Amino acid sequence: MDLTDPFDNFEEIVEITGWEPVLGGKLAEKAVWVDEAKCIGCQYCVHVASNTFIVDEFHGRSRALRQDGDSSDLIQEAIDTCPVDCIHWVNFEELDDLENSLDRDMFQSFGKPPRMNKH
């Protein structure tokens, strides 16, 4: 065994495809998802796991900003505080499809009112 080669005692070779989620160095099987269409903007999740969730300033709804922002236990606590059950664990590969399925133009804004140009 060659002690200068750190990969010498690996039993299997892992092929990197570029599609792997980058969460803590391991392949993630789950990710946190906020269904913004159901969110009422209470901000409980933000208060519990502020490194994971933010509130969209325009729509006034929460969204997951960083998948690795807080521990899984803290994220689960934030999920449990949601009064409308709009935060879920999903497969990481589903995130793009879920994001694309939201039609934010149909949301009623809970955030700042839009600016109106007065002439």
Q: How confident is the model at residue 76 (pLDDT cuts 50, 70, 90)?
A: very high
Domains of the chain: 31-106 (3.30.70.20)
In sequence order, which ranges of 10-107 are alpha helices (DSSP H)? 44-48, 72-81, 95-101
Model pTM score: 0.63
Beta-carbon contacts of 49 under 8 Å, excluding residues fewer than 6 positions away, are 69, 70, 74, 75, 77, 78
Q: How confident is the model at residue 60 (pLDDT cuts 50, 70, 90)?
A: confident
CA separation for the pair 64, 36 (Å, rounded):
10
Render pLDDT for 86-116 as a digit per residue (tens, 0 to 9): 999 998 888 888 887 776 555 555 555 555 5
Render pLDDT for 14-52 as a digit per residue (tens, 0 to 9): 665 555 555 444 445 789 999 988 999 999 999 999 999
